Amino acid sequence: MRTEILVMLSVLMMGAVVVGAAEAPRPFTARDMHAMQRLSNPQPSPDGRRLVYVERTTDFAANKGRNDLWLIDLDGSNPTRLTSDVASDTEPRWAPDGKGLYFLSTRSGSSQVWWMPIPGTDKDAVQVTHLPLDVSNLLVAPDGSHLAFSLEVFPDCPTLACTVERLAAAEKRGTSARVYDGGFYRHWDTWSDGRRNHLFVAPLTGTKAGEPVDLVPGMLADVPSRPFGGAEEWAFSPDSKTLVFAARLAGIKNREEPWSTNLDLYEVAVDGRGAPRNLTADNRATDTQPVFSPDGKTLAYLKMRRPGFEADRYWIALRDVASGDERILASTWDRSSDGVVFSPDGKTIYTTAFDIGQVPLFAIDVATGAVRKVVAEGSVHDIRVAGDRLVFGLDHLRSPVELHTVKPDGTGLKQITAVNRERLAGLLLGEPEQFSFQGAGGDTVWGWVVKPVNFDPSKKYPIAFLIHGGPQGSFHNEFHYRWNPQTYAGAGYASIFIDFHGSLGYGQDFTDAIRRDWGGKPLEDLQKGMAAALQRYPWLDGDRACALGASYGGYMVAWIASQWADGFRCLVNHDGTFDQRMMYYGTEEIWFPEWEHGGPYWENADHFERQNPVRFVDRWKTPMLVIHGGLDYRIPDNQGIGAFNALQRRGIPSRFVHFPDENHWVLKPGNSIFWHETVLGWLDQWLKDAPARPAP
């Protein structure tokens, strides 16, 4: 069995650090992480010669990010800033004639559609919509005749004015009470006020939009879905006459959403005449992200097969628009697609998927289903076709996203932006290396090690053992903005992270293996992964290690506290599950614990309790830092409070950090920097400042 691996990326892919002569480089910090410019949403011009993209800058004084639009030639020349307003400008969309750009901006005080000529600047921008509600998720019809976007409205309101009036009345009623009969009364980080995302279209004449029409009037569904759905969940037909969109109906009496993953695809006329038609009613699992082929004859979309499972494999389905017949593309390819992009001739589909610690760019032949890698290493995002090349974002463990182009055959890979070059030039970064070992059941399991900065192989280094969430997730070759191993490397720690059973990118059976076994095979993989890393890298100090994790990773930290109690000197538990019983009854997406643990709690209590950390608190002895967000409704903060209370009552050194304004993630720059300083201080206390552990 193959047990070693390694893959040092090329200078181009790794973004080699260039040290300026004037100032010696310094170690990477959390503030440096937030100071990086974040690039997203590349949009090629209709002629394929230019590219507009979004660049996010962190405003440390305002404690948030701000987005601006930039234009660049496809060869990387002539980068030009288009917007510099203090407001955020996002979601650029080219007019079909290539002479102007539609985008969303908050510069008027609310999020509205704006337009500017190309070339142009802020002074040339014109407001296109003047609606009383915020506009989100913008698309432009291929013929330029309509805009499509979403608005939050009360589903039973026939007009936008009705929604506005109802919101105003709620402000005046003299009580803060909320009343719910079911459904997602709270979701992710928000309590519902009864409004839904609805899909609207507005006729467009140049820079003027007409009255918007709700294409899903009365529908008890969010279009796009909450909390993370966007414009990728709908598509115009090439003739601009219809829209296909994804939606999950709330079900009988608005109650079933929390335990349903059944998104269906609906077709509706752009003029709003006629009710939406369900195209995928036969599939009770997720159908989403529709994309038409260039000739309009085929509708491609992503399809799951198992109801109630959010991490099932995404298959690529191809539907004949005329007949409704469907086939699965590349059915033997054991990877889960993350989206569909057609080549201009419709003969190839481009996609990304997790794959052995990377997120490559793949090309799939539509006729045969043959799959090949176009870009193999790093994490690829936002694929677009631009003339005779592909353009995309690419990041990895030593660089944030920069835009690249490549020929469809995989040759001619070229980086066309370098917005973070100077920032990286002044920083010391840890060197990553991938490795493999024999894990649970004899399966090959993969992981990464990132060396500390100023690495000296003759020394021993303490370990930050990072455990990913999901659990169907991955710590892979990417530049993460919450769990970035470079923040530990800069503080003098080596990082180890293992893609245990349940992780993405190793086949669906490997992903499925965690179901009903949260504390079994994954724990074995982590233990064997630590042992394999210590054997392979003699500079790792296994006696000075701390385990850190969030979400499922936080669950695993609480599980490690009793099941691997001598493995670590300290633990960090962020937004982790402590009590599986209350997690079931307190979370919002009930489908998740029901799938993971085999049904509702009252039908399967024995299984929920078998690997429930709260049952084994009597074995806890390792110092633990507990962190939780007050707006976390995925894993409510009473889980963190319960873990901290248990630690305190048992007299175990512990600390609780609560962020009342953060959800399942820590997003505000100031809070994130505080988080990192607190976590690294905890590691320093137990791994650097503490006396040597006595021999057993």
CA angle (30, 36, 40) in 5-degree steps: 130
E strand or H helix at 616: none
Coil/strand/helix, residue 41 = strand
CA angle (287, 373, 511) in 5-degree steps: 50
Report yes or no: 312 and 305 within 8 Å, Cβ to Cβ. yes
Which is the catalytic residue, given 337, 632, 637, 672? 632
Which one, of 190, 250, 245, 169, lies nearest residue 214 by Cα? 245
Coil/strand/helix, residue 541 = strand
DSSP 256-306: -GGG----EEEEEETT--S--EES-TT--S-EEEEEE-TTSSEEEEEE--S
Does the active-site annotation cover 409? no
Q: For residues 185 and 195, give the distance between their C-alpha atoms in angstroms, rounded to a whole number.
A: 11
Which one, of 322, 278, 280, lies nearest residue 301 by Cα? 280
Which is the catalytic residue, given 111, 337, 551, 654? 551
Cα–Cα distances (Å) from 453 to 25, 331, 394, 523, 597, in that order, read 11, 44, 23, 29, 41
Terminal-to-terminal C-alpha distance of the chain: 34
Sheet with 126-127, strands from edge to edge, namely 89-94, 100-105, 112-117, 126-127
DSSP 153-180: E-TT-SSHHHHHHHHHHHHTSS------
Tell me whether residue 460 is exposed, middle or buried, using C-beta atoms within 10 angstroms of its C-beta: 0 to 12, 13 to 18, 19 or more: middle
DSSP 436-470: EEE-GGG-EEEEEEEPPSS--TTS-EEEEEEE--S
Task: Compute how many other C-beta atoms are within 10 angstroms of the C-beta atom of residue 239.
Answer: 12
Does the active-site annotation cover 404? no
Does the active-site annotation cover 47? no
The contacts of residue 126 (CB under 8 Å, 6+ apart) are: 114, 115, 116, 207
Strand ranges in 636-692 using DSSP code E only, listed in sequence order: 654-659
Q: Using alpha carbons only, how large is the chain's radius of gyration in Å?
A: 25
Q: For residues 260 and 309, give the distance between their C-alpha atoms in angstroms, rounded to a whole number.
A: 9
Report yes or no: 157 and 195 within 8 Å, Cβ to Cβ. no
DSSP conformation class of 689: S
Report yes or no: 676 and 30 within 8 Å, Cβ to Cβ. yes
Q: What is the residue whose two structure tokens read 């992903």?
A: 511
Which is the catalytic residue, given 198, 468, 664, 676? 664
CA angle (544, 471, 648) in 5-degree steps: 50
Write out the two tokens for 174: 């003299």
Q: What is the dihedral of CA 670, 673, 678, 682, to 10 degrees?
A: 170
Cα–Cα distances (Å) from 87 to 6, 57, 94, 97, 443, in that order, read 44, 12, 20, 27, 51
Contacts 24+ apart (CB under 8 A), 516-521: 516/596, 516/597, 516/598, 516/607, 517/611, 518/471, 518/552, 518/555, 518/556, 518/559, 518/596, 518/597, 518/611, 519/556, 519/559, 519/563, 519/611, 520/440, 520/611, 521/439, 521/440, 521/441
Report yes or no: 415 and 396 within 8 Å, Cβ to Cβ. no
Q: How many residues does the chain have?
A: 696
Angle between helices 521-536 and 552-563 (to 10 degrees): 80
Catalytic residues: 551, 632, 664
